[in-house]
Structure 1
Amino acid sequence: MFRNRRAFTLIELLVVIAIIAILAAILFPVFAQARARARAISCISNLKQLGTASMMYAQDYDEVLPGGWTKSCDGTCGANAGCMHWRDTILPYVQKYKANAANNYEALSSNTVLSCPEYKAGNTIGPTSYGINDAEVNQGYWTTGDCTNGIFGRPMAALNQPAGLVMLADAAQTFGSAALDGGIGVFNQGSGASCNIAAGTGDCGPFTFTPEKWKAMQGWGGCDWNFAVPGRGHGDWPENPSNPGNNARRPVFRHALKCNVVFADGHAKAVGGGGLKARLGTAEDIWHNW
């Protein structure tokens, strides 16, 4: 005897499909967040390696931090004079890196320690995804007759609170328009007007821009070598209105509105944008060597 088997009705099928759709709508964002979190963890691992490499470099060179760049990076010393950025200087202490055919580390892809995993393979990221806080951990521009010029690292002893000063961070060339980057137009510091807390001059904050909204420029997305911080009268901050793309080098908050950073003692963590807006010299200010 055969038993009658009833097929699924259309309503039953629609109910199952609806349940699957609901589950997918719930789970897909969770999976996306998990992937983003994994990329953020990989990014902070990169920065931790770079921080450790910087500490190893400092131990080998009389406790002096890596400099921003040296020799002909600005083109003034001729094509064959050589160019060393901070990223080139510390690569002997880093295992995970990849050089281009010319062996100068400029052609990077998403599988290197100098590239944040948020940038997919094949995208233009610039020389690196990270920048050095050159106005604070470097000690200015030097030049001599033999064209040995550059921006050299500070001694560790010159840093007031290494554990509270950002050395390297997620950074990029960013939009120079206030409409696009979260209100840089309300940053009223005049060009070259450095903050001096003791003298009460310059714009020392707190500031009203929104760093979490800063976005990397299309077609570039990465960093050259440095990022600028407010209140220093640095050439990159505020941006030159006639050329905002080249000079708008800032920290970027690409990981759930957080910026991954490594401090001058080598430890790494994710930070929010509040410290960048804080009045210089306060407990919240982690971007200046006060």
Structure 2
Amino acid sequence: MSPVPLIPGEDHRPSLLLVTDLGYEARGRRYCDEDIFLASRLRENFDVALCHPRDAAALLDRFDLALVRNSGPVLHYQEAYEAFRARARELRVPVCNPLEGRGDMAGKQYLVELSRAGYPVIPTVDRAADLGLLPEAGEYVVKPKLGADSVGLRFVTGAEAGAALEGADEGTLLVQPRIGFRYEVSFYFVGHDFQYALYAPDPERRWVLEPYAAGAEDLAFAHRFIAWNSLGHGIQRVDACRTAEGGLLLVELEDLNPYLSLDRVGEEVREAFVARLKGSLAYLAG
């Protein structure tokens, strides 16, 4: 029996290009398993093909829409990614997530901007002259704005942080105080709709996640960044840390290809997420 179309009265099955790198190895996560699962479920309502991000631009004209999933850090294929973005705009093929994201999709400059604007984020600067704006800390974190998966991240003293900023090309590095926290927690959204939350009770084991019962204050915190990003659709993950004082601070707003940890949620939550994603993609396909 053929799957029931998502759009009543519509028999056309949209074609979906799922951009992923099944061979990418991430610490503590199996990206490939998640995307194989998602492809199997999306195939119930779409004609799905998987491709590596290096092939996406060349294949895009054959599909109704594209879904960027666990494709690995863009810095490993920056030229191919820019070609894909240009081709999508040229062809006007809908992309999920849309290419106007203001979070990690555009680099980590947003952490500097949000910090300056007084948002609850880990204090962040990108100029040696602004180091005095950071709270004093025993160590500081230096990382590239275009980094991902901790590529290029290192812990340094205050003096070393200043030297790193002065020695780098302007605007390429970020510096943050290394703060103590109780745990990290992630909030997952499709569009502006909250789906579920997971947290890592042990700060030393970031990807050993458990379901987290998000309260009203937690959701208000996460929704604030979803609203700021202003994407009309797509999958976003708001990563935060719970400080020793009890508050939440933003660590990252992942709006390009957030890993979903679907193996860490119950079947009912997973099914609800898949249904919401299918609906979002069907709407994009028209």
Larger helix percent? 2
TM normalised by structure 2 equals: 0.29
TM normalised by structure 1 equals: 0.29
Higher alpha-carbon Rg: 1
